Amino acid sequence: MGVDLGRKEGSDPPPFLDKMNKESQDTKQHDEEKSKECAWYNLMKVQTCNIVMYVPVQVHERELVLPLHALPWGKSNASEAISSERIWGIMGLLCPGVASLLSSFRLKKRGICMQVVSFSSKSRRLGLLVLVLLIGTCLSSTVGAHGVSVKAARTSFQVRQANWPSFGFDARNSRFNPSEHMLSTSNVSSPTEAWSFPVDNYVESSQVVVSGVVYIDSSSGIFLALNAVTGKHLWSFVGNPRSPTYSTPAVANGVVYFGDDYHVYALNAATGKHLWSVKANLVSTPPTVVNGVVYIGDTIGNFYALNAATGKHLWTFHTPGGWIGSAPAVVNAVVYFGDQDFNVYALNAATGKHLWTFHTGYAILSSPAVVGGVVYIGSGDDNMYALNASTGKQLWRFTTRNYVISSPAVVGDVVYIGSDDDNLYALNATTGAELWTFHTGGIVDSSPAAANGVVYIGSGSGNLYALDASSGKQLWSFHTGVIGSSSPTVVNGMVYIGTDGWTQGKVYAFHLP
């Protein structure tokens, strides 16, 4: 017999809970305070507040700890769920003869919002006993290989991991992950090394993480896929063993795209199977994939648009200066990138038609971030520029004391950018005014990543840093070895970065203990 876990919106709690609810009234104020403190939990880790039962489950080969209770029923959005005063329990007969106190739930796409209910000690003991019985007898069959699926009559939900699918996180190249809720200013002082994976040569590219897999493009010419949680090798692809690869990959719709000395490749992201390849000349540009089109440049000034499904050439734009190492940003049907001919370009994304050019004082390896109608990009002329995205007109510039190869991260009204003068800068996004500076002790070709109030940056000093995004205060550091242009990736409570070993580099992963 199926069981309906739902309760109609606005209906009263079951009568058998009246006594329990009455007993909890004395501690209502305390519960509300604790609920506010513990309302949001990341899917990958939950803190313990009051007395809540948690269930270990497997998702994408990673053990998660999820609460057995879930969300307030009948709330239209997360904010309403957070502000709800309490969760009414309902009785669900998930197995014959086993009664369990559960809460109705509402799923949020990238996380689960929940509140904590505190019961009297007698109720706690009874509830825990019943929940333990429930866990042992009913949940093992509901956990699927590709997610958590809890089924009971008409009610089900599935848990999915967040992704960092390209160099810039999104098509804007914002390098800001709004879905990260595990690592924060309150706990990022304690990450430890989860794993490291040796690579035959240095790692200049950055790592992307999709569906629990981390993808690595190394200068050894071997493309790797590893389990993002354990570092276990999943598959490798060798296009040309004499061809080093520098291009940070991009993953879209189950396909991973990257370039090497001679080709742009598309592989099945799950198996590494070759799908298609297109001849090119030394591709160091991280690709960006938008609306079924791969945008990527090479070292002789060609910027390509390719059909993502077939590799078919759609259009090419040629710059006079040569080397394009800038990851394109695609916003509002316009593609933006920098070139070593000193210029920033804006093209029609559908046709490749030239829209505007902005000339800087030196070669550009920085990738543009396009946020709020503004293009933010660094240049080898020591400056960080803000340009009108529609016209290319300069809005402001900020001058450092050395090359700006680093690419910006943009969060709200703040832009974060590194410089070869050894500093990471936080700037007002509207005016370019300096908000704070952090000295890393080495050149900063690495690009910052921002998530949940923390900015992460690698340095030529060999250190990976976590800083308070508001103040620039150092919260954590780890010495990895020399960090070149590989940039941190922050997703699902983990931080990834590659190192330059010249003879042997590594990819590191860090997590909370």
Are residues 119 and 201 located together in one domain of the fold? no
In this predicted structure, what is the pLDDT of residue 501?
64
CB neighbour burial string for 66-88, b if at least 16 within 10 angstroms, e if fewer: bbbbbbbbbbeebeebbebebbb
Q: Are 233 and 215 within 8 A, CB to CB?
A: no
In this predicted structure, what is the pLDDT of residue 20?
35
9 three-class SS: coil
User: Which is nearest to 437 in space by CA: 483, 396, 384?
Assistant: 384
Q: Distance of CA 441 to CAs 297, 444, 457, 466, Å?
A: 32, 9, 12, 14
In this predicted structure, what is the pLDDT of residue 109?
30
Overall average pLDDT of the 136-153 stretch: 35
Determine, yes or no, domain membership for 187: no
Determine, yes or no, domain membership for 384: yes
Helix and strand totals (H; E) in the chain: 4, 40
E-assigned strand segments in 283-353:
288-290, 293-297, 302-307, 313-318, 329-331, 334-338, 343-348
Are residues 206 and 82 located together in one domain of the fold? no
Check pLDDT > 70 for residue 112: no
- pLDDT-based confidence at residue 128 (cuts at 50, 70, 90): very low
Are residues 421 and 282 located together in one domain of the fold? yes
In this predicted structure, what is the pLDDT of residue 199?
82
User: Which is nearest to 365 in space by CA: 451, 485, 456, 280?
Assistant: 485
Are residues 207 and 139 located together in one domain of the fold? no
CA distance 118 to 109: 27
Determine, yes or no, domain membership for 245: yes
Determine, yes or no, domain membership for 161: no
Q: Which of these three, 148, 180, 205, is where a domain ends?
A: 148
- pLDDT-based confidence at residue 272 (cuts at 50, 70, 90): very high
Check pLDDT > 60 for residue 23: no
pLDDT digits (tens, 9 = 90+) for 398-412: 999 999 999 999 999
Type of residue numbered 304: Y
Lowest mean pLDDT among 13-27, 95-109, 409-423, 484-498: 95-109
Overall average pLDDT of the 228-235 stretch: 97
Question: Residues 6 or more apart from 483 whose CB is under 8 A from it?
Answer: 442, 446, 458, 459, 460, 461, 462, 463, 464, 497, 498, 499, 500
CB neighbour burial string for 181-201, b if at least 16 within 10 angstroms, e if fewer: bbbebebbeebeebbebebeb
Determine, yes or no, domain membership for 3: no
CA distance 479 to 180: 23
The residue that leads in pLDDT, 309 or 260, is 309
Check pLDDT > 90 for residue 422: yes
Lowest mean pLDDT among 73-82, 116-125, 178-187: 73-82
Check pLDDT > 80 for residue 104: no
Ordered DSSP codes for 42-81:
BTTB----SS--EEEEEETTEEEEEESS---TT-SSHHHH
pLDDT digits (tens, 9 = 90+) for 353-372: 999 999 999 999 999 999 99
In this structure, what CATH number is given to the domain that contains residue 255? 2.130.10.10
Residue 30, CB half-sphere, CA atoms under 13 Å: how many?
A: 10
User: Which is nearest to 494 in space by CA: 227, 299, 172, 166?
Assistant: 227
Overall average pLDDT of the 461-469 stretch: 95
Are residues 144 and 202 located together in one domain of the fold? no
Q: Are 332 and 302 within 8 A, CB to CB?
A: no
Q: Which of these three, 148, 179, 212, is where a domain ends?
A: 148
Mean of all residue pLDDT scores within the chain: 75
Check pLDDT > 70 for residue 22: no
The residue that leads in pLDDT, 307 or 16, is 307
In this predicted structure, what is the pLDDT of residue 329?
98
Lowest mean pLDDT among 216-220, 296-300, 322-326, 334-338: 216-220
Overall average pLDDT of the 25-33 stretch: 42
Are residues 214 and 116 located together in one domain of the fold? no
In this predicted structure, what is the pLDDT of residue 150?
31
Are residues 206 and 102 located together in one domain of the fold? no
DSSP class of residue 463 equals E
Overall average pLDDT of the 119-128 stretch: 42
CA distance 132 to 99: 11
Overall average pLDDT of the 455-480 stretch: 96
Determine, yes or no, domain membership for 162: no
Domain that includes residue 95, residue range? 15-148
Are residues 349 and 461 located together in one domain of the fold? yes
Are residues 59 and 126 located together in one domain of the fold? yes
pLDDT digits (tens, 9 = 90+) for 158-172: 345 799 999 999 999
What is the total count of domains within the chain? 2
Are residues 123 and 226 located together in one domain of the fold? no
Check pLDDT > 90 for residue 103: no
Q: Are 167 and 327 within 8 A, CB to CB?
A: yes
Indicate the pTM of the whole model. Answer: 0.72
Determine, yes or no, domain membership for 182: no
Q: Which of these three, 118, 148, 178, is where a domain ends?
A: 148
The residue that leads in pLDDT, 192 or 504, is 192
DSSP class of residue 146 equals T
In this predicted structure, what is the pLDDT of residue 391?
98
- pLDDT-based confidence at residue 102 (cuts at 50, 70, 90): very low
Residue 79 structure tokens: 């904010």
Are residues 370 and 312 located together in one domain of the fold? yes
In this predicted structure, what is the pLDDT of residue 242?
61
Check pLDDT > 60 for residue 148: no
CA distance 241 to 110: 39
Are residues 290 and 201 located together in one domain of the fold? yes
Determine, yes or no, domain membership for 469: yes
Check pLDDT > 50 for residue 373: yes
In this predicted structure, what is the pLDDT of residue 243?
62
Overall average pLDDT of the 429-449 stretch: 97
Q: Sign of the C-alpha dihedral, residues 432, 438, 440, 442? A: positive
Check pLDDT > 90 for residue 25: no
Lowest mean pLDDT among 95-104, 235-244, 417-426: 95-104
In this predicted structure, what is the pLDDT of residue 94?
33
